[in-house]
């Protein structure tokens, strides 16, 4: 009988674990080295895989920056991201391009700006950033009317550069938009490192 209950509890835990990731959408990318990458996300959760079937960096805090190659504001954060990557080698830092760019344009950008982290170029017709913004808007539509003014203010402030940080289990920890001091990333990464 104990054996039966153990199996039953095991199945229950597996079902609960799968539930949080069941709404993920798969997005395909290539990095500046030409490697294929796959991201599975529903905004609240985030998993990244390389072209080997084994999950990559699943046990790392992850910081994603959405990048428009023509944005001067976004360009200013490259130095910060390079510095964070050096300061926190156990953190996975990557940038996701807001649209598909020619490989030569990405290579020139990476070289000119000394980018030392993966730059992920969309390899399908999906747009991860737009899907994330839709999720933000959906969650704000469900907001209690008493908090609506604050939610509307937050929506209007969502712009590039836009960042999302996930903990080592792939759960969303924080989003950042607009002017963000490097110390804020530093503080949150340090907090997640100590928490786990």
Upstream peptide bond of 159 is cis (omega within 30 degrees of 0): no
CB atoms within 10 A of CB 47: 19
Q: What are the pLDDT digits (tens) for 26-82?
A: 999 999 999 999 999 999 999 998 765 554 445 689 999 999 999 988 888 999 999
- For residue 191, is pLDDT > 90? yes
Between 10 and 81, where is the model more confident?
A: 81
Q: Please provide residue 61's backbone torsions phi and psi, each rounded to the nearest 5 degrees.
A: -60, 140
The sheet with strand 62-67 has its strands ordered as 46-50, 36-41, 25-30, 119-122, 92-97, 62-67, 162-166, 172-177
Q: Which of 21, 26, 50 shows the shortest CA–CA distance to 40?
A: 26
- Beta-carbon contacts of 133 under 8 Å, excluding residues fewer than 6 positions away, are 158
Q: How confident is the model at residue 155 (pLDDT cuts 50, 70, 90)?
A: very low
- What mean pLDDT is predicted for residues 131-137? 89
Tell me which residue has tokens 């050096």.
86
Q: Are 177 and 71 in contact (CB under 8 A)?
A: no
The DSSP code for 151 is H
The DSSP code for 121 is E
User: Percent of the chain beyond pLDDT 90?
Assistant: 61
DSSP lists the bridge partners of residue 28 as 38
Distance from first CA to last CA of the chain, Å, rounded? 36
Per-residue pLDDT at 144: 55
- What mean pLDDT is predicted for residues 135-157? 57
Per-residue pLDDT at 10: 45
- For residue 11, is pLDDT > 60? no
- What mean pLDDT is predicted for residues 102-126? 96
194: which 2 tokens? 């100590």
Distance CA 14, CA 66 (A): 33
Upstream peptide bond of 27 is cis (omega within 30 degrees of 0): no
- Domain 23-195 CATH (choose: 3.40.30.10, 3.30.300.10, 3.30.1540.10, 3.10.150.10): 3.40.30.10
At what angle are helices 148-156 and 128-141 packed, to 10 degrees? 160
- For residue 151, is pLDDT > 90? no
Phi-psi map region of 75: left, alpha, beta (phi>0 left; psi -120 to 50 alpha): alpha
pTM of model > 0.85: no
- For residue 93, is pLDDT > 90? yes
């Amino acid at each position: 009988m104990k054996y039966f209950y153990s199996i039953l509890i095991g199945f229950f835990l597996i079902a609960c674990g799968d539930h949080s990731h069941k709404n993920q959408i798969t997005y395909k990318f290539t990095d500046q080295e030409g490697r294929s990458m796959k991201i599975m996300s529903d905004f609240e959760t985030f998993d990244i895989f390389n072209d080997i079937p084994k999950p990559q960096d699943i046990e790392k805090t992850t910081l994603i920056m959405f990048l428009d190659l023509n944005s001067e504001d976004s360009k200013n954060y490259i130095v910060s991201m390079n510095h964070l990557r050096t300061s926190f080698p156990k953190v996975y830092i990557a940038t996701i391009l807001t649209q598909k760019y020619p490989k030569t344009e990405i290579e020139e950008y990476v070289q000119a700006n000394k980018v030392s982290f993966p730059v992920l170029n969309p390899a399908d017709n999906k747009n991860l950033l737009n899907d994330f913004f839709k999720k933000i808007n959906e969650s704000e539509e469900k907001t209690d009317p008493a908090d609506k003014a604050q939610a509307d203010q937050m929506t209007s402030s969502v712009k590039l550069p836009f960042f999302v940080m996930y903990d080592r289990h792939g759960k969303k920890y924080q989003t950042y938009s607009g002017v963000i001091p490097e110390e804020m990333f530093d503080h949150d990464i340090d907090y997640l490192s100590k928490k786990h």
